[in-house]
Structure 1
């Protein structure tokens, strides 16, 4: 986004010293000029921006980490202009995508989210488990779609990386327009 617009506000709760070190390092490695980017410490449930400030707001793999997702979406809606756009990427951690993700994590050995085969099956055929704070808290992207649909006039869900076979995809890309 940064090379295509005049102003970017990159917000996060800084958890590293110096703040935003990882994001700034990614800009350096990508050779993208970040002079249009302002790094702003902020809580997504209580943004310090005026209402209807932004043409577009992005929450990329963020909402599943926020305990009060509904408050974060209300804030996204509040700071988005009435004719603006909100874009959310969200992991799909139910059904076949959950099985695929967990098989990859198991084979990769880097990390495992589920603690048992029974828990994995519950996530795949039922509702996601409620996890510890800081994890994905039993995240179900379908709830995110519902919350965005209440806050914006139009909501569209696309699936990534294989839109034609949405039941295989690990990520939902949700666009919402027309902040009410």
Structure 2
């Protein structure tokens, strides 16, 4: 399930790509299938990095000659030189970081002049519903520490020398799933969530694996209203 829309970006030979907070590597894997020079995925969670590496070796390596590296690291202290990457992603990460502006400073530092930054965070409306339905949704270690106002987030990023070139909402079908998950916290005698939630989970897994066109078109139509994530694309001022 990709949050970044690669059709909205220009990836060319010679570009170095960094995914900060790559998780299990969904955007790293997608970028490795593009015509770029190198892709690096960075995350704090070693288990996620191991899963990302395993999936890369099983599904992507034989399809791509692009060098891919997964590294353990902190978004507040990126282990790269200034301007090292032409494209930087940071998806569904900033909402977990108390000092998110320092993280944006680091994204700015490693992005080359004329480079691209793609950022996504939970959309304020659907996120407020989750917070209202369940304290456990955000009051957990490593959980969401803020609800972003998207205009404010855009302004903070643009203060660092970026200018916005595109944006959209994503994952409308996932918003009701999370509302149900927040609402139904109880488990049955086998320790499983209620049947409707399990059924919705299986539907989303099927959608991710099969990507049926009618469901994709439905979600695209619903994204402006229910999209759980807001995605911004920026360019850094200066010559590449």
Does 2:236 match 1:178?
yes
Q: Which runs of 5+ in 1 are unaligned?
A: 103-112, 122-128
Does 2:169 match 1:139?
no
Does 2:35 match 1:9?
no
Shift of 1:65: 1.6
Q: Which residue is equivalent to 1:154?
A: 163
What is the rounded CA distance, in whole Å, between the counterparts of 1:90 and 1:141 in structure 2? Answer: 10
Runs of 4+ in 1 over 3 A off after TM superposition: 129-133, 161-165
* Secondary structure class of the residue paired with 1:76: helix
Q: Greater strand percent: which structure?
A: 1
**Distance verdict in 2 for CA 1:165–1:6, change over 3 Å:** closer
Shift of 1:36: 1.1
What is the rounded CA distance, in whole Å, between the counterparts of 2:149 and 2:112 in structure 1? Answer: 24
TM-score, with normalisation over the residues of structure 2? 0.55
Shift of 1:141: 4.9
Shift of 1:9: 1.3
Answer whether contact 2:127 2:147 (CA < 8 A) is retained: no
Q: Which residue is equivalent to 2:74?
A: 43
**Structure possessing the higher radius of gyration over alpha carbons:** 2
What is the rounded CA distance, in whole Å, between the counterparts of 1:172 and 1:153 in structure 2? Answer: 17
What is the rounded CA distance, in whole Å, between the counterparts of 2:55 and 2:144 in structure 1? Answer: 24
**Distance verdict in 2 for CA 1:179–1:49, change over 3 Å:** farther
Question: 1:100-130, CA deviations, whole angstroms, 9 ceiling, x for partnerless residues?
Answer: xx5xxxxxxxxxx54xxxx349xxxxxxx97
Answer whether contact 2:108 2:160 (CA < 8 A) is retained: yes
Q: Which residue is equivalent to 1:70?
A: 101
Q: Which runs of 5+ in 2 are unaligned?
A: 1-30, 172-219
Q: Which residue is equivalent to 1:105?
A: none
Q: Which residue is equivalent to 1:21?
A: 50
What is the rounded CA distance, in whole Å, between the counterparts of 2:169 and 2:55 in structure 1? Answer: 25
What is the rounded CA distance, in whole Å, between the counterparts of 1:132 and 1:157 in structure 2? Answer: 30
